[in-house]
Structure 1
């Protein structure tokens, strides 16, 4: 077994707080690497071996493994559950754009971080919910504009190089409050929102993974028992107001035991993504995406 530290990719937003506590208070012995551009970027880094573990969005992980013709073994497996609650994706446009509702978005330009990312996948879930996907047409409901980062997405909708984008509600809220962008709607994931994956070179019995799950579980318990310390960290280090941090705390529920995945959650995600046209019928089955089942 390797004695090298695990390299763990994560998104440096409020959801990362238990990881911070796991490292600060409980000695999580890993290198935490921020990926502000999100899950799609982590998939690339897992496949090249730059990181060993990723903590990211369920729909991004599933989309990455479920596409037709995924090369070799896909590069990673879903091994853990991080957040049990759905994610609220806010739908945003430029502050001065004449776009005022979801109905204005059909056949427009969607800004996404990367192809296959959560921001990309949820655009098609939205289109499916709105009835904009036609089985008889190969035309996509939007022109997709990959822009990598949240900052570039905000700039693009104000410059009209994209018409709208989707990002987590509380991360977006500061920019509604300061007038930089405008909210025109929201959509919730039909599944629990965050999962943990490991590259396929790391087996389920790897002691480093076992220790990681144990430390993250302790970080989650600390997070739940020390809400004001969580608020101070989120508002002091992660670019949120204390009020928004407290409101977010009312909405989120982390997994009490992070090791393992419920196959039914992955099956539902695959089903919705196929219905939305993100995945075809020939990709990896849900059970094959999972490296560790919940017991």
Structure 2
């Protein structure tokens, strides 16, 4: 049995992995896939790949490309979710902020440096025409930390996946005053170079199994009710999310990679560029 360590955020996007593990699909192929939830998100997962604490990460596209450019020796082996990630822009419910324009020069809660919550703050600032050099960040680690920071006024706004944050809006803790979709596919599957070189067939088999599940995911009986129960969501919100989410079974093309990297460079998120071969491994 081949042990493989994999990490991802504890969100609805990663239920297909849990279903495959529970159904024994990896085990049937002699793979012991050990899933670990990382609520701190992309910045933490990048560090785990670097430190050899995980073999695979299901991770935000912009975050891992930034980290590979910065020296992370890992490869993107597939797009996992093709559709954009819709980042809600949230403020404390009792704050005086009423529109995104009110947030210029305000303090931003982020999970970690290099996280999606930080990188998307640059995207949003650029869209608003703000100077990105002036962005102020407060590290809060997790969504619970964001609740504390916004409630205590140590940060002013917080960007996080819209649907996962919806219960906090419904409960009157946050108000969502805008959305900022990613201008690229939201999630990719990334593997450490060392593991990939030694275990290409194992990685290929893992992709084959997860792709079969995501391909048929929306047809799983009562999947909307399952997701709503697991993630404390309203059924109508989950049904909307299922309609908006487009799974992928393909890898990044060189053309798509160049476009994304150029966008990151133009936004000042990266200050140099990597080659396609340094970033993406095709099967």
Q: How many residues align?
A: 277
Question: Is the counterpart of residue 146 in structure 1 residue 139 in structure 2?
Answer: yes
In 1, Cα distance between the equivalents of 2:203 and 2:231?
Answer: 27
In 2, Cα distance between the equivalents of 1:286 and 1:124?
Answer: 24
Contact 1:153 1:165 in 2 (8 A): yes
Partner residue in 2 for 1:137: none
Contact 1:109 1:145 in 2 (8 A): yes
Contact 2:84 2:182 in 1 (8 A): yes
Partner residue in 1 for 2:88: 90
Deviation at 1:287, TM superposition (A): 4.2
What is the correspondence of 1:257-268 to structure 2 with a 5 Å cutoff?
Answer: 257-258=249-250, 260-268=251-259
Q: TM-score, normalised by structure 1?
A: 0.89
Partner residue in 2 for 1:44: 47
Partner residue in 1 for 2:278: 288
Partner residue in 1 for 2:208: 214
Partner residue in 1 for 2:130: 132
In 2, Cα distance between the equivalents of 1:271 and 1:241?
Answer: 38
Contact 2:50 2:73 in 1 (8 A): yes
Deviation at 1:149, TM superposition (A): 0.4
Deviation per CA, 1:206-255, whole angstroms, max 9, x where unpaired?
Answer: 22101100110122134132152x22331222232322211211110101
Contact 2:59 2:187 in 1 (8 A): yes
Q: Which has the higher helix share?
A: 2
What is the correspondence of 1:116-265 to structure 2 with a 5 Å cutoff?
Answer: 116-133=114-131, 140-203=133-196, 206-226=200-220, 228=222, 230-255=223-248, 257-258=249-250, 260-265=251-256
Runs of 4+, deviation exceeding 4 Å: none
Change (3 A) 1:224 1:185: same
Q: Whose relative contact order is higher, 1 or 2, with alpha carbons under 8 Å and at least 6 apart?
A: 1
In 2, Cα distance between the equivalents of 1:97 and 1:16?
Answer: 33
Contact 1:62 1:266 in 2 (8 A): no
In 2, Cα distance between the equivalents of 1:208 and 1:75?
Answer: 19
Contact 1:112 1:165 in 2 (8 A): yes
Q: Secondary structure at the match of 2:229?
A: helix
What is the correspondence of 1:66-81 to structure 2 with a 5 Å cutoff?
Answer: 66=69, 70-71=70-71, 74-81=72-79
In 1, Cα distance between the equivalents of 2:253 and 2:233?
Answer: 32
Deviation at 1:4, TM superposition (A): 3.1
Q: TM-score, normalised by structure 2?
A: 0.92
User: Which of 266, 270, 277 in structure 1 is aligned with 2:261?
Assistant: 270
Q: Secondary structure at the match of 2:196?
A: coil
Structure 2 stretches lacking a partner, 5+ long: none
Deviation at 1:152, TM superposition (A): 0.7
In 2, Cα distance between the equivalents of 1:215 and 1:195?
Answer: 16
User: Which of 10, 32, 48 in structure 1 is aligned with 2:35?
Assistant: 32
In 2, Cα distance between the equivalents of 1:143 and 1:133?
Answer: 11
Deviation at 1:286, TM superposition (A): 4.2
